[in-house]
Chain A
Amino acid sequence: MTDIGYTPYQAPSYTAQFAANVKVAMQVAGPADATGNARPLRSVALQRRTGIARSTLRAMTNPAPDARPNPDLNTLARLAGALGVPVAFLLMRPEDWRLLSRALNDMPTLVTAAEKLIGRKPLAVPAGTPERVLRECRLQPDPVPYGLGANPVEVARVEQRNEQRRRASHVLGSLALRGLPEPDAKVFLTALAAALAHQLSFASEAPAEPN
Chain B
Amino acid sequence: MPLIQDADLARVLLDADVDDMHVLIDHVTDKGAGRISLAASTCAILVQARKKEEIDETARALVAEELSRFGGNSLMNLFRGGGGVSYREIACDVADHLKASHRTDSDVAGLEMAILEKLAEQSLSKMSEDDKVEFFKQFGMRYAAGSGVAASAGLLASIVASNTAGYQLSAMIANGVVRALLGRGLGFGLGPAAGGAALVGPVAIALSVIWGLYGLTSPAYRVTVPCVVHVAYMRRKQAIANTCRHCGATPASGARFCGHCGAPFTPAPALPFGTGIG
Given contacts A137-B36, A147-B180, A148-B180, contact A105 B78 (CB under 8 A): yes
- In the bound complex, do residue B78 and residue A104 qualify as a contact, i.e. CB atoms below 8 Å apart? yes
Does chain B have a CB within 8 A of A178?
no
Does chain A have a CB within 8 A of B82?
yes
Does chain A have a CB within 8 A of B217?
yes
Given contacts A205-B213, A207-B213, contact A109 B204 (CB under 8 A): no
- In the bound complex, do residue A142 and residue B211 qualify as a contact, i.e. CB atoms below 8 Å apart? yes
Q: How far is the CA of A157 from the CA of B222 in the complex (A)?
A: 18
Q: Return B27 CB to nearest CB of chain A, in Å.
A: 13
Encoded as 1 (CB less than 8 Å from any A CB) or 0, chain B from 199 to 229 comes to: 0110111011001111101111010000000
- In the bound complex, do residue A158 and residue B208 qualify as a contact, i.e. CB atoms below 8 Å apart? yes
- In the bound complex, do residue B37 and residue A105 qualify as a contact, i.e. CB atoms below 8 Å apart? no
Which of B76, B82, B219 has its CB near the most chain A CB atoms (within 10 A)? Answer: B219
Does chain B have a CB within 8 A of A116?
yes
Given contacts A101-B76, A104-B78, A138-B35, contact A146 B183 (CB under 8 A): yes
- In the bound complex, do residue A142 and residue B82 qualify as a contact, i.e. CB atoms below 8 Å apart? no
- In the bound complex, do residue A206 and residue B208 qualify as a contact, i.e. CB atoms below 8 Å apart? no
- In the bound complex, do residue B73 and residue A144 qualify as a contact, i.e. CB atoms below 8 Å apart? no
Q: Which 4 A-B pairs have the closest CB atoms?
A: A145-B180, A145-B204, A147-B204, A202-B212
- In the bound complex, do residue A148 and residue B204 qualify as a contact, i.e. CB atoms below 8 Å apart? yes
Does chain B have a CB within 8 A of A47?
no
Does chain A have a CB within 8 A of B179?
yes
| A residues less than 8 Å from B205 (CB atoms) | 145, 148, 151, 154
- In the bound complex, do residue B208 and residue A107 qualify as a contact, i.e. CB atoms below 8 Å apart? no
Does chain B have a CB within 8 A of A33?
no
Does chain A have a CB within 8 A of B77?
yes
Q: Return A95 CB to nearest CB of chain B, in Å.
A: 11
- In the bound complex, do residue A105 and residue B201 qualify as a contact, i.e. CB atoms below 8 Å apart? no
- In the bound complex, do residue A106 and residue B219 qualify as a contact, i.e. CB atoms below 8 Å apart? yes
Does chain A have a CB within 8 A of B30?
yes
Q: Return A119 CB to nearest CB of chain B, in Å.
A: 15
Q: How far is the CA of A206 from the CA of B203 in the complex (A)?
A: 19
Return the contact of A198 from the options B200, B217, B220 (Cβ within 8 A): B217
| A residues less than 8 Å from B180 (CB atoms) | 145-148
Does chain A have a CB within 8 A of B181?
yes
| B residues less than 8 Å from A113 (CB atoms) | 36
Return the contact of B218 from the options A102, A136, A150 (Cβ within 8 A): A102
Q: How far is the CA of A107 from the CA of B203 in the complex (A)?
A: 29
| A residues less than 8 Å from B207 (CB atoms) | 145
Besides the known contacts A145-B208, A148-B204, 9 further A-B residue pairs in the complex with CB atoms under 8 A apart: A105-B218, A109-B36, A109-B73, A113-B36, A136-B36, A139-B219, A148-B201, A202-B211, A205-B213
List A residues 168-211 near B (Cβ within 8 Å): 198-199, 201-202, 205-207, 209
- In the bound complex, do residue A108 and residue B215 qualify as a contact, i.e. CB atoms below 8 Å apart? no
Return the contact of B204 from the options A105, A146, A198, A201 (Cβ within 8 A): A146
- In the bound complex, do residue A147 and residue B179 qualify as a contact, i.e. CB atoms below 8 Å apart? yes
- In the bound complex, do residue B77 and residue A138 qualify as a contact, i.e. CB atoms below 8 Å apart? no
Interchain residue pairs with CB less than 8 A apart (24): A102-B215, A105-B78, A109-B37, A109-B73, A109-B219, A109-B220, A136-B36, A137-B35, A145-B181, A146-B180, A146-B181, A147-B180, A147-B200, A147-B201, A147-B203, A148-B204, A151-B205, A154-B208, A157-B208, A161-B212, A201-B212, A202-B211, A202-B212, A206-B212
- In the bound complex, do residue A108 and residue B73 qualify as a contact, i.e. CB atoms below 8 Å apart? yes
| B residues less than 8 Å from A158 (CB atoms) | 208
Does chain B have a CB within 8 A of A112?
yes
| A residues less than 8 Å from B212 (CB atoms) | 161, 201-202, 205-206
Q: How far is the CA of A104 from the CA of B213 in the complex (A)?
A: 18
Q: How far is the CA of A207 from the CA of B76 in the complex (A)?
A: 19
Q: Which residue of chain A lies nearest to B37 when distances are taken between CB atoms in the complex?
A: A109
Q: Which residue of chain B lies nearest to A157 when distances are taken between CB atoms in the complex?
A: B208
Which of A147, A154, A161 has its CB near the most chain B CB atoms (within 10 A)? Answer: A147
- In the bound complex, do residue B181 and residue A106 qualify as a contact, i.e. CB atoms below 8 Å apart? no
- In the bound complex, do residue B201 and residue A138 qualify as a contact, i.e. CB atoms below 8 Å apart? no
| A residues less than 8 Å from B217 (CB atoms) | 102, 106, 198-199, 202
